[in-house]
């Protein structure tokens, strides 16, 4: 899948991202808050682990997309701004492979970040509750992978790092904070005429919603959805897998297309 | 590697960035693209490297045509220095060089050798963010020569380089020329690179306005040569002066320096009249104390060429 240049680029990206100040700051925040929640859950004698893991899910829903967008937003535009994109593309490598290698290198950095947060949280918890928390790792990585893909697409579509960063922050607010509010507003505006199926679909069309609702059902069972006001079942495993694949592959494809079509030098 | 750029045309929206440029890059030659900002130098290099898609034209490498620039197989033999290159500033110079070595299938030892060659051994362990512009340029130069490429493409390589850095660049150009490799350099600072250029291509507004060896361009432009003749201030000077004026070969100005008992004749003449004028000076009875022939610099030639087409 990856040639010599691609493999070297994966390692290079991992090395570079693990030294990036903003990635370290957001990761440290995630690790601290996850550890703090676990510590609180332990001291509050959360015997069933019914509070800690769902709280970690909520935290991950907010912070993992942020880590991923911070990781991905400058993948291509950063190279363009420091005049190394041409240098990179002048190596014997296809443009699509450059994008994929950058994505994979940054995905490895994301694994370290997510692993750090959930790992610390698991270490702090009572040993008996660790399994539930560790079961969050693969879906949380999927959530990060989807937003990393979105960030990478932004980096290929923009011409300036500042634009990419602004776009990433706006998208984070829209998808993580305001999306649910938007659905709520639509419900209010239509006086509840919006069907439960439509609401369920809308929730799961957003990767953050797909993750949160899926994990809450996984941890607390179907009644957790009723608490959220949803009385219908979520998409099955097959459809969920399709949605995750779409959220990861579609933005990457758009990014690859943009990198392929754009001129690497315009001077 | 013999490279021919044939009828390259590039349009960015409504702007014609390159309008049908053809040029040959020969092994053992340093070809220099020269032109003002926006002339299309970097774009032309981009087409050659496959970074910019040409709307028309092709790149021919050793007789094989490639409409989309250098193919992947040929890029193994390529070294490229982009203009004002930056690199990841949170990595060290060594990490950057090792990445490119690894991407090119070269050893870490080779990366260290090149770091030493470009004078960055001492700074190799420092983060690139602490590098000056000249040091970044040296690092870029190192990346470009890492694989001993058969085709070296340097976009504004003199930017930020101090005297020592320039010496390194001249060494590299001389080495590549003597090894019969192909070099393409772009610059807007012709005075610096004048003595290292074998073939000059003058670009303006996306068109190739002139090309040839520096000598050929000098001849083509026909800028006057200046001869300064310092003479002992005696009666023979008047004879020489009148003979020169009568010959119609040159314009003559006279400077008188009575405190040194000298007169300086400043002759401005066409290059092909130089020998005749010197013969007249040689034949005369005037005592020549000092004689200097000043040829026009390449930057004068370039300015004339650019002015002619403006």
- Whether the CB-CB separation of B181 and B198 falls below 8 Å is answered with no
A83 and B51: CB-CB below 8 Å?
A: no
**pLDDT at residue A267 tops 70:** no
How far does A6 lie from chain B, in Å, by closest CA? 8
Q: Model confidence at A265, in pLDDT bands (50, 70, 90)? A: low
Mark yes or no for CB contact A86/B104 under 8 Å.
no
**Is residue A32's pLDDT more than 60?**
yes
* Confidence (pLDDT) at B139: 97
Which residue shows structure tokens 């400043």? B266
Cβ proximity of B120 and B139 under 8 Å: yes
The predicted structure's pLDDT at residue A264: 64
pLDDT per residue as tens digits for the range B83-128:
999 899 999 999 999 999 999 999 999 999 999 999 999 999 999 9
Q: What's chain A's average pLDDT?
A: 89
Residue B290, burial from CB neighbour count under 10 angstroms (0-12, 13-18, 19+): exposed
B103 vs A9, A20, A21: nearest CB = A9
Confidence tier at B169 by pLDDT (50, 70, 90): very high
Q: What is the mean pLDDT of residues B263-285?
A: 89
In sequence order, the 6+-apart residues with CB closer than 8 A to the CB of A24 are: A18
Q: With contacts defined as CB-CB under 8 Å, which chain A residues touch B87?
A: 82, 84
- Sign of torsion, CA B119 B122 B127 B131? negative
- Range list for CATH 3.30.70.100 in chain B: 220-309
pLDDT at residue A50 above 80? no
- Return the residue of A nearest to B45 by Cα: A265
Put simply, the answer to whether A19 touches B90 (Cβ < 8 Å) is yes
Contacts of A91 in chain B (CB under 8 A): 75, 100, 103-104
Interface test with B, best of A86, A96, A97, A260 (most B CBs within 10 A): A86
Q: In this predicted model, what pLDDT tens digit does every residue of A222-263 receive, in sequence order?
A: 777 777 666 667 778 888 999 999 999 999 999 999 999 877
Higher pLDDT, B305 or A29: A29
Helix (H) or strand (E) holding B160: none
Could you please report the per-residue DSSP string of B94-148? HHHHHHHHHHTT--HHHHHHHHHHTT-TTTTTSBGGG--HHHHHHHHHHHHHTT-
Inter-chain Cβ pairs, chain A and chain B, closer than 8 A: 96
ipTM of the complex: 0.89
Task: Give the pLDDT score at A232.
Answer: 67
**Over residues A165-171, mean pLDDT:** 97
Burial of B80: CB neighbours in 10 Å, binned 0-12, 13-18, 19+ = buried
SS3 call for B266: strand
User: Distance between CA atoms of B91 and B169, rounded to whole angstroms?
Assistant: 24
CA distance B274 to B280: 10
Q: Which residue of B has its CA nearest to A78?
A: B88
pLDDT at position B306, please? 77
pLDDT (average), residues A82-94 = 94
Average pLDDT over residues A171-199: 86
Taking residues A143-150, report their average pLDDT.
98
**A92 and A5 Cβ atoms separated by less than 8 Å:** yes
Nearest chain B residue (CA) to A92: B72
pLDDT at A175: 95
Closest CA to A80 of A95, A92, A69: A95
Residues A266 and B50: their CA atoms lie apart, in Å, by 12
CATH of domain B3-219: 3.40.50.300
> What kind of architecture, by CATH, is found in domain B220-309?
2-Layer Sandwich (3.30)
C-alpha distances (whole Å) from A13 to each of A134, A230, B170 are 26, 41, 33
Check whether B6 has a pLDDT greater than 80: yes
Measured CA to CA, the distance from residue B265 to residue B36 in angstroms comes to 36
The candidate with the shortest Cα–Cα distance to A117, out of A200, A192, A55, is: A55
Closest listed residue to residue A240, CA positions, set A217, A207, A216: A207
Of B12, B51, B99, the CB nearest to A264: B51
Residue with tokens 């053992």: B28
The reported pLDDT for the residue numbered B237 is 86
Looking at residue B11, its pLDDT comes to: 92
User: Which residues pair with residue A91 across a beta bridge?
Assistant: none
User: Residue A133: pLDDT band by 50, 70, 90 thresholds?
Assistant: confident
- Mean pLDDT along residues B153-177: 94
Helices (H) and strands (E) in chain B, counts: 11, 14
**Chain B residue nearest residue A89, CA to CA:** B51
Q: What is the pTM of this model?
A: 0.88
Question: What is the overall mean pLDDT for chain B?
Answer: 91
For residue B28, pLDDT beyond 90: yes
Q: pLDDT at position A31, please?
A: 92
B305: which residues sit within 8 A by CB, 6+ positions away?
B202, B209, B210, B217, B221
Test A19 with B102 for CB contact under 8 angstroms: no
pLDDT the model gives residue A127: 80
Inform me whether the pLDDT recorded for B29 exceeds 90. Answer: yes
Q: Summarize pLDDT for B32-91 with one digit per residue, the tens.
A: 999 888 899 999 999 999 999 999 999 999 999 998 889 999 999 999 999 999 899 999
Residue A151 has pLDDT above 80, yes or no: yes
Indicate where chain B has its CATH 3.40.50.300 domain(s). Answer: 3-219
**B51:A263 CB<8 A:** yes
Whether residue A266 has pLDDT greater than 70: no
pLDDT of residue A231: 67
pLDDT band at A204 (very low <50, low <70, confident <90, very high): confident
């Amino acid at each position: 899948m990856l040639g010599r240049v691609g493999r070297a680029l994966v390692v290079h990206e991992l090395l570079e991202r693990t030294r990036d100040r903003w990635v370290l700051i957001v990761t440290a925040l995630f690790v601290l808050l996850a550890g703090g929640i676990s510590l609180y859950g332990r001291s509050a004698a959360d015997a069933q682990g019914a509070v800690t893991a769902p709280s970690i899910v909520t935290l991950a829903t907010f912070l993992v997309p942020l880590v991923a967008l911070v990781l991905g937003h400058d993948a291509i535009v950063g190279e363009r701004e420091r005049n190394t994109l041409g240098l990179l593309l002048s190596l014997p490598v296809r443009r699509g492979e450059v994008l994929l290698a950058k994505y994979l290198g940054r995905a490895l950095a994301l694994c370290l970040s997510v692993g750090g947060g959930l790992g610390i949280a698991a270490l702090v918890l009572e040993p008996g509750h660790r399994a539930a928390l560790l079961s969050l790792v693969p879906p949380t990585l999927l959530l990060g992978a989807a937003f990393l893909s979105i960030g990478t697409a932004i980096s290929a579509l923009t011409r300036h790092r500042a634009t990419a960063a602004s776009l990433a922050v706006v998208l984070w607010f829209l998808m993580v904070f305001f999306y649910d509010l938007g659905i709520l507003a639509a419900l209010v505006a239509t006086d509840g005429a919006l069907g439960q199926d439509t609401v369920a679909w809308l929730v799961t069309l957003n990767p953050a919603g797909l993750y949160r609702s899926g994990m809450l059902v996984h941890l607390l069972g179907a009644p957790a959805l009723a608490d959220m006001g949803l009385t219908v079942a979520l998409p099955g495993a097959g459809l969920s897998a399709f949605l995750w694949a779409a959220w990861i592959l579609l933005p990457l494809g758009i990014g690859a297309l943009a990198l392929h079509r754009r001129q690497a030098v315009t001077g | 590697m013999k490279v021919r750029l044939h009828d390259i045309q590039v349009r960015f929206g409504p702007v014609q960035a390159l309008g049908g440029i053809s040029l040959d890059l020969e092994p053992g030659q340093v070809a220099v693209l020269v032109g003002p900002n926006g002339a299309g130098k970097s774009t032309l290099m981009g087409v050659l490297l496959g970074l910019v898609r040409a709307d028309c034209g092709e790149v021919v490498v050793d007789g094989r045509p490639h409409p989309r620039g250098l193919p992947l197989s040929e890029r193994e033999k390529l070294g490229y220095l982009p203009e004002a290159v930056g690199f990841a500033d949170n990595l060290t110079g060594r990490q950057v060089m090792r990445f490119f070595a690894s991407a090119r299938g070269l050893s870490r030892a080779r990366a260290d050798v090149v770091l030493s060659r470009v004078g960055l051994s001492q700074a190799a362990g420092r983060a690139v963010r602490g590098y000056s512009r000249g040091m970044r340029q040296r690092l870029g130069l190192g990346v470009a020569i890492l694989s001993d490429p058969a085709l070296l493409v340097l976009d504004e390589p003199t930017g930020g380089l101090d005297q020592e850095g320039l010496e390194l660049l001249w060494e590299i150009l001389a080495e590549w020329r003597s090894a019969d490799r192909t070099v393409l350099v772009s610059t807007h600072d012709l005075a610096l690179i004048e003595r290292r250029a074998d073939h000059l291509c003058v670009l303006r507004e996306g068109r190739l306005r002139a090309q040839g060896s520096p000598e050929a361009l000098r001849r083509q432009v026909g800028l006057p040569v200046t001869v300064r003749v310092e003479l002992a201030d005696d009666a023979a000077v008047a004879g020489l002066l009148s003979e020169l004026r009568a010959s119609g070969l040159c314009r003559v100005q006279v400077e008188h320096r009575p405190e040194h008992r000298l007169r300086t004749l400043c002759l401005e003449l066409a290059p092909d009249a130089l020998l005749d004028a010197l013969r007249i000076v040689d034949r005369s009875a005037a005592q020549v104390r000092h004689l200097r022939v000043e040829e026009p610099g390449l930057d004068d030639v370039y300015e004339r060429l650019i002015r002619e087409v403006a």
